[in-house]
Structure 1
Amino acid sequence: MSVISEENVRGGSVFKDISADDDDWQPSEIESLCMNCYQNGITRMLLTKIPFFKEVIVSSFSCANCGWSNTEIQSAGQIQEQGVCYTLKVQTKQDLNREVVKADSATTRIPELDFEIPPFTQKGSLSTIEGLLDRAVAGLEQDQLVRRATDPEVAEKIDGFIQKLKKLKDVEDEFTLVIEDPSGNSFVENPVAPQKDEALTISRFKRTVQQDIQLGIRADDDLDEEPAGNDLESMRNEVLVFNTNCPECNAPASTNMKLVQIPHFKEVIIMATNCDSCGHRTNEVKSGGATEDLGTKITLHVTEPSDMTRDLLKSETCSVSIPELEFELGMGAVAGKFTTLEGLLKDIKDLIVSKNPFICGDSSTTDRTQKLREFGEKIDKIVAGEMKVHVILDDPAGNSYLQNVYAPEPDPEMTVEKYTRTFEHNEELGLNDMKTEGYQEKH
C-alpha cells in the first residue's frame, strides 16, 4: 500500500506533475466503506498537478465485493480572487464535445428548461458538455423506481423532464449552458483558440459574503461586506502589506499594495506578490478612479523591438486584439496589469499556450496542439521585432493606457479613440441602471 511519505510533506510539495517516468509516485490506497454494499473497498488517491486546476486530488473507489466504483476530482489549489461565469450557446452537436472542468462549488444552469444544479451537490469533474447532461440525467433517474411506487405523479413529471434533457443532445434547437463558479476554478474549452469564441461568454464577478462563507474563506459570523480600510492619504504615502498565498505553489507569501500616479494618465492601485519559496512574481492593477464617460480604443502599430518597452496599463475591462493573428482576448480573461507591451504579449502566450488545460495529455489533438504552438511562435517573433502587427486595447471603461514615447507630442504609430459605449458595454460594466453619458436604450 502506497502512502504519502514524511519527506514529501516536509521537503516540498506533495503535488507532483503527472509523469509516466516517475515509478515511485504511486496513488495512495485507503481502505474505506462501500456505500453500495456497506463492506470495505479501496479508495486510491493521487495528489498531482494539471494545467489550469494546478493542484488536484484525483480519487477512485472500487469495491471487490459488489463491483461498485466511483471517481471524482477535487481542486486542492487556492480559490481565485474573483468568481467566473461561463455562458455557452450550444448550437451544434460539435459543441457537446467541448471539455469542461466543473468544480464542486459551481452552479450549472440551462435557462430554457428552468433547470439548475446547485453548488456542492455534485463532486468536481473533468467531462464534456454531453457528459454533464448525462450526469444530470443519471442523477434524476437514480430514485425513480422508489418514486414510481410512492408518488407516481411526481415520477411521471420527472420522466418527462428527463426526456427533455436527453433531447438536448440532438441539438435540434439552440440552448444555453451557464456554469457559474464563485471559486473561479471552473473552465469551458474554446475549441477555436487562440481565436475568439463567438458562442462563449466569460465574465468575472466579485463574490458575495454568503459565497465566501460557503467556500470556507470567511467565518460564519463575519458578515461585514468589507474590512475597515485605511484613509486615502495614508495609502498614497506608504506601501501596504498583507498576507496571502502564492498563486503557483500556494506557499505563504506577502502582497504589497500601493497607490501610484501614472504620468499623463491617472491614479491606479498596484498589487505585487513575490514568493520566496518558488520565486514566482505577479502584479495586478486596479483603477483608482471611476468609470470614464467614454470608452477608449488604443491602436499601436508595432514596427521595431523598442516598442516592447512601452509601459502599459490594461484594466480588467480591457480586451486585446491582434488583427494579423486573428486573435482577440476578451475582457476579464487576464487580470488588470501594469507592465510593458512585451510583458502583456508573454502573458497572452502563457494563457493561450503554456497554461491551456487541453493542449496536453489525452484531451489534446495534434491539429489543436500544432495550431497553438504556431501561435506561440508568432508571439515570439513579435517580441523579437521580426513581425509587424497592430495591437489594439479596447476598454469600454476608459481605464487603460499605453505609453506615448513622444509625449507631449503625438505618437505617429499610435492612435487613441474615444467612443460612446453601447448598451452591451454598459451591461458588462454593470452600468445599465445609471444614466451616464454613453448610455443607450437597447432598441
Structure 2
Amino acid sequence: MSALGALEAAAGSGGTALFRPLSAEDGEQRPAEIESLCMNCYRNGVTRLLLTRIPFFKEIIVSSFACNSCSWSNTEIQSAGRIQEQGVCYSLAVTSRQDMDREVVKTECATARIPELDFEIPAFTQKGVLTTIEGIIDRALAGLEQDQPLRRETDEEVARKIEEFIRRLRQLKELHSPFTFILDDPSGNSFVENPHAPRKDEALVVTHYRRSPQQAAMLGLEGEEVAEKAADPAEELRNEVLQFNTNCPECNAPASTNMKLVQIPHFKEVIIMATACDSCGHRTNEVKSGGAIEPQGTRITLRITDPSDMTRDILKSETCSVEIPELEFELGMGALGGKFTTLEGLLKDIRELVERNPFTLGDSSAPSKAEKLQEFVGRLQEVIEGRRNVHFIMDDPAGNSYLQNVYAPEEDPELRVERYERSFDQNEELGLNDMKTEGYETPAR
C-alpha cells in the first residue's frame, strides 16, 4: 500500500481528517515514513510525507528525504489538488521584516522574479518548495555561491560579476531598500501568504489569468485546450483547413480539395476552396461567400491611376460581372467563377481567358477578329503594367464582392461603392423571387 493509501486508511479508522491545517502547535500530526532509495549513494534512506492544509489556500503534500549513509537530504512539496482552471500571479511589495517571513508555496512550474534586481528563477529549474520570501533568496544565494571558487580560477571576470550580484541580493535580503517579489504560476497552485486574511492585503496583488497555448503545452494540457476550442464549431472552422476527397475536373483521377474559412478585413467571411491533382498537375481555386445574399446589390468602381492599384485585394463572387469601359470590355456573371486575388491577378486571369480560347486567337479564329483581340490584349497589358488609366467596375447583384480600400477606415478618393435595389430579373437569376422565408403558414393536415 502506498503512503497516501496508508494515511487514508489511518484517517478513516481514526475518524480524523486526512489533510489537517498546518500548525506549529499541533503535536498530534505525524508524517508517514517510507523506506526509499537514495539517488546519491543508492542505499536506502527514509522519506517522510506530511499531508497538510495551508490556511486560506489548499491541501499540499510535504515530502522530506534523508539518507543516514551519505547524509544527503532533499525536501519538496506537491499540490494535492488538480491544475486550476486559471493561472495565478502574486505581486508583493516587500517593505518590512514581516514581509520576508511570509509563507510561500512555489511549485516547480512557477517563475519567481525580483524586477529591481532583474532576477528570475525560471519554471522547472527547482523542485516545489514550502518556504518564505527570505528562504527563496537564501536558496538563490546558495546556488550562486556554490561554484564561485571554481569560477575565480577559470573566469575571474564572470566570478566578479556574480559576486557583485550576490552582494546586491544580500542587500535586498537585509532590506536596505524595498523591492517587489513576483510569483507567476500557470498551474494556479502557488501561494503567497496574506497575514491579514480574510481581510485584503494592500501590499499583495493577486491576479488570475487564462493560460496561453504555450503555457498549457508546458503543463501537458494540449488535449484539454484543443477540447475547449473544439466546443465552438465556428471557431474550429476558422482555425482549421478542412480537406475532402474529390475527382480532378481534367483527368477524373482522385484528388483532394482544401477548404478554409477566411475573414476579409472591413468585409465579411468567405470560403476559399483549392483543388490540386497529383496525376495531371491541374490546380483550381474558387471563392464562395460565407454569408447570405445581401439585401441590396453592389456596384464598385475603381479609377486605376497608379501601378500600386494592382496590389489591391479583390474578391469576385460567382455572381459578379466585370466591366472596363475604356477597353469596351465586359465579363459576364459566372465567368472565371469566384476569385480571391489581387486586381493584377484578376486582370491576368482575364488575359489568359482570352488567349486560351482557340476560336479567338487560335488557328480557328477570323483574321479581323483576332486582330481586334490582339489589340485588346495589348491594351489590357498596358493597364496591368500601370501605363494606362481606366475605370474598373464590379457589379454584383448579390452584394458579395469586394475591392480593397487602401485608406480604410477612411474613404478612398478613387473608389466608389454604390448600393442599389435589384431588378426583378436579377432576383429571378438569384432564385429569390420564389423564395419565401417568413410570413408563411404550414398547411393543415
Bin for the TM-score computed over the shorter chain: 0.3 to 0.5
Instruction: Name the structure, 1 or 2, with higher relative contact order (CA <8 Å, separation 6+).
Output: 1
TM-score (norm 2): 0.45
